[in-house]
Amino acid sequence: MSPDSVLEAVDLTKRFGNLTAVDHVSFTVKAGRLVGFVGPNGAGKTTTLKMILGLLSPDEGVVFRFGREADSRDLETLARIGYVPDVPSFPEWMRPLEFLEYIGGFFSRDAETVKKRAREMMEEFGLERLAGRKVEGFSRGEKQRLGMAQAMMGEPELLVLDEPTSGLDPLGRYEVITYMERMKGKAALIVSTHLLEDVERICDDVLMIDRGRKILDAPLSEIKSFREGDTLTVEVAEGVDRLAAALAGMPWVKAISPRGNALEIMVSDKKAAGREIPAAVARFGLELLRFEGRPPSLEEVFISLTRGDQGEERNGMRGGAG
C-alpha cells in the first residue's frame, strides 16, 4: 500500500448463492482525493462499500485501511472513517444537536470539546434552523445533512457516502453536492452514485463497475482527455432519423444519441467515420449544418464500456484511482 493511500481493496469478491455481486474488484483511494464510485443500480457498489467498511466479509480478497489489514476489532482505524448510508436513520425522538453530541461522546470524553464540535457541524451543514425539531419530522434531504454532520463528528480522514443525492429534490441535491465540495480538502471521499453529472462536477477520480466487475479506474482529468474527438456531432437540416438508421449498423459506431436535428455519435474509428458520415449525408441528399468532434462525456464513456468492451479495463486507465 502506497504511503499516500488511505484505502486499498485487493480482489474483493462477494457471492450471494449463485450470484457474484462483486467480482475481484481492486482499487485505491488516496489522501485528499474525491473518488466517484459509479455504476448502475445493482452493479455492486453498496456491497463493495460494506466490505471495505467491515459490514460484510468478502468471500475473497482483502482490504487495507491506513496501511493496516482490515479488522472489525481495530477500533482505532475505524474511528478514522466516516460513513453515511444511502438511507441514514436516527433515533427519531432526538433533536439534531442532541444526537450529534451523543455521537461525539464516542470520540472524546471532554464534554466541552464535544459540544463545540457539534455546534460547528450544525453550522457547517445548515442544521441550526432545525435545532428545535425532532428527527422524526425531518425530510430526506434534512436527514442526509444530519447524516453527513454525524459522519464528520470524529474528523475522519476517509468519508464514505453511499448514494448521497439519490431521491433528493434539486435543492437538496445541490446542497449535498456543495457540502461534498467543501469537504474535499478535509478528508478523502469515496462517493457511490449512478448520477454521472454529479461525478463530472466534483470528483477527482472515477471508479466504475458494472455487474460486479471493474471496468474503469482513472483520474477524471485523464478520462476527459481519453479518445479526444471520438464523439462526433452531426447536424442536418432534416432527415436525421434516416441518417441515424443508416449509421446505426456501421461497425465503427459504438453509440448514437439523438439531439433534435443532431446526432451525438461515439465512434471507434475516427478515420472511417470522417469518410462515411459525410458520404451518408450526401447519399440521402441531406443538408449538412455541422460536423465536429469533441471529447466524450463520462456518460458516453460509461455507455461505451458497458455496451461494448464489457469487463475490460481500458489501456492507460489501470491502477489506483488517482
Domains identified in the chain and CATH numbers: 5-225 (3.40.50.300), 231-294 (3.30.70.100)
Three-state DSSP state, 175? helix
Q: How far is Cα 307 from Cα 311, in angstroms, rounded to an integer?
A: 10
- pTM greater than the 0.85 cutoff: no
Q: How far is Cα 176 from Cα 292, in angstroms, rounded to an integer?
A: 36
Q: How far is Cα 133 from Cα 130, in angstroms, rounded to an integer?
A: 5
Q: Which residues contact 214 (CB under 8 A, 6 or more apart)?
A: 25, 26, 27, 207, 208, 313
Query: Region 19-29: what's the mean pLDDT?
Result: 96
What does residue 29 show for φ and ψ, rounded to 5 degrees?
-115, 120
pLDDT at 321: 37
pLDDT at 317: 35
Q: How far is Cα 62 from Cα 27, in angstroms, rounded to an integer?
A: 11
What does residue 75 show for φ and ψ, rounded to 5 degrees?
-65, -30
Three-state DSSP state, 201? helix
Length of the chain in terms of residues written: 322
Name which of 43-52, 89-98, 161-170, 233-242 the model is least confident about. 161-170
In angstroms, how far is the first alpha carbon of the chain from the final one? 14
Cell of 115: 459540544
Q: How far is Cα 210 from Cα 75, in angstroms, rounded to an integer?
A: 32
| 144-168: b (≥16 Cβ within 10 Å) or e | bbbbbbbbbbbebbbbbbbbbbbeb
Q: How far is Cα 33 from Cα 228, in angstroms, rounded to an integer?
A: 24
Q: Are strands 5-16 and 205-210 parallel, antiparallel or unpaired?
A: unpaired
| 227-252: b (≥16 Cβ within 10 Å) or e | beebbbebbbeeebeebbebbeebeb
Q: Count how many Cα atoms sit within 13 Å of the Cα of residue 297 in the half-sphere of its side chain.
A: 15
**With bands split at pLDDT 50, 70 and 90, how would you rate the model's confidence at 225?**
low
What average pLDDT does the structure give for the chain?
87
pLDDT at 105: 93
The residue among 35 and 74 whose pLDDT is bigger is 35
Name which of 10-19, 58-67, 93-102, 214-223 the model is least confident about. 214-223
**322: pLDDT strictly greater than 50:** no
Residue 35 β-bridge partners: 190, 205
pLDDT at 246: 92
**69: pLDDT strictly greater than 50:** yes
Q: How far is Cα 157 from Cα 83, in angstroms, rounded to an integer?
A: 11
Residue 232 β-bridge partners: 265, 293
Q: Are strands 60-65 and 5-16 parallel, antiparallel or unpaired?
A: antiparallel
Q: Which of 224, 227, 254, 259 is nearest to 240 (CA)?
A: 259
**319: pLDDT strictly greater than 90:** no
